[in-house]
A and B are shown apart, each in its own frame.
Chain A
Amino acid sequence: MMKQDHYDLVIVGTGFASTFFLKKYLSKAGPDKKVLVLEKGHFYPQAERLKVKKGLHSEFEKYEQPWQDNINNLSDFKEWPFTTAYGGSSNCWWGCTPRFMPNDFKLNSMYGVGQDWPVSYDELDPYYYEAEDIMSVSGPEETPFPRKGKYPLPPHAFTLVDKILHKKYGSQYISQPGARASRATAHRNGCLAFSTCETCPVNAKFTIENSGLTVFQDERVELVYGAQVYSLELDNTIVKSVLFSKDGKDQSVKAEVVVLGTNPFFNSNILLNAGDQNPFTGRGLGEQLGMQVLIYLENMTNAGGSNWVNANGYMLYDGAHRKDYAACLIEANNAPYDIRLERGKYLNVASFRMVFEDLPLDSNFISKGADRFKPDVHFKDRSAYTLKGVENMKKKLPEILSCLPVEELKYLPPASHEGHIIGGTRMSADPALGVVDKHMIHHQYRNLFVLGAGSFTTFGPSNPTLTLSAMSLFAADKSF
Chain B
Amino acid sequence: MLAGVGAGMCLIPPSLYFVAPGVKKYALHAIEKEFHYLQLAPGAAAKYVDDYFALNGNNTMETIKWKIIYYTGLSYNKSDRVRDLLKYFLLSTDFFINKTDESKVVNYLGMYSPYSSPIPNPYSFIIYPAESIKSV
Q: Give the B-binding residues of A (Cβ under 8 A).
A: 50, 53-54, 157-160, 163-164, 167, 192-196, 199, 201, 301-306, 334-336, 339, 341, 343-344, 346-347
Contacts and interface: CB of A to CB of B under 8 A. Distances in A.
Interface of B: 34, 37, 76, 83, 86-87, 90-91, 96, 100, 113-116, 120-130, 132-136
Contacts of B136: 160, 163-164, 167
Contact of B76 (A164, A303, A335, A341): A341
Contacts of B90: 339, 341, 346
Nearest to A165: B136
A196 B100 CA distance: 22
A49 B11 CA distance: 42
B117 to A, nearest CB: 9
Contacts of B128: 301, 303-304
Contacts of B134: 160
Contacts of B129: 304
Contacts of B120: 194-196, 336
A158 B129 CA distance: 10
Contacts of B87: 339, 341
B27 to A, nearest CB: 15
Contacts of A159: 123, 133
Contact of A194 (B34, B86, B91, B114): B114
Contacts of A334: 121, 123-124
Contact of A341 (B86, B96, B116, B135): B86
B122 A336 contact: yes
A301 B100 CA distance: 12
A305 B120 CA distance: 13
Contacts of A50: 115
Given A157-B125, A160-B134, A196 B114 contact: yes
10 nearest A-B pairs in the assembled complex, by CB-CB distance: A196-B114, A303-B128, A306-B125, A304-B133, A304-B128, A193-B124, A157-B130, A53-B115, A303-B123, A163-B136
Contacts of B96: 346-347
A336 B123 contact: yes
A336 B129 CA distance: 17
Interface majority SS (helix, strand, loop, mixed), chain B: loop
Contacts of A335: 121, 123
Given A160-B136, A304-B130, A193 B125 contact: yes
A339 B91 contact: yes
A306 B130 contact: yes
B52 to A, nearest CB: 16
Given A304-B129, A339-B90, A341-B86, A54 B115 contact: yes
B90 to A, nearest CB: 7
A50 B113 CA distance: 12
B124 A305 contact: yes
A302 B76 contact: no
Contacts of B86: 341
Contact of A193 (B116, B121, B133): B121
A479 to B, nearest CB: 42
Nearest to B134: A160
A343 B76 contact: no
Nearest to B100: A346
B121 A336 contact: yes
A193 B37 CA distance: 29
A302 B123 contact: yes
A334 B133 CA distance: 15
Contacts of B115: 50, 53-54, 196, 199, 201
B133 A160 contact: yes
Nearest to B127: A303
A334 B34 CA distance: 25
Contacts of B122: 303, 336, 339, 346-347
B102 to A, nearest CB: 8
A195 B133 contact: no
Nearest to A310: B123
A196 B120 CA distance: 9
B121 A163 contact: no
29 contacts: A157-B133, A159-B133, A163-B135, A167-B136, A194-B120, A195-B114, A196-B114, A302-B123, A303-B128, A304-B123, A304-B125, A304-B129, A304-B130, A304-B132, A304-B133, A306-B125, A306-B130, A334-B123, A335-B121, A335-B123, A336-B120, A336-B122, A339-B87, A339-B91, A341-B34, A341-B76, A341-B90, A346-B122, A347-B100
Contacts of A193: 121, 123-126
Given A194-B121, A306-B130, 9 more contacts: A160-B133, A194-B114, A195-B120, A303-B124, A336-B122, A339-B91, A341-B83, A346-B90, A347-B123
Contacts of A306: 124-125, 130
A170 to B, nearest CB: 13
A34 B76 CA distance: 62
A156 to B, nearest CB: 8
A411 to B, nearest CB: 16
Contacts of A158: 133
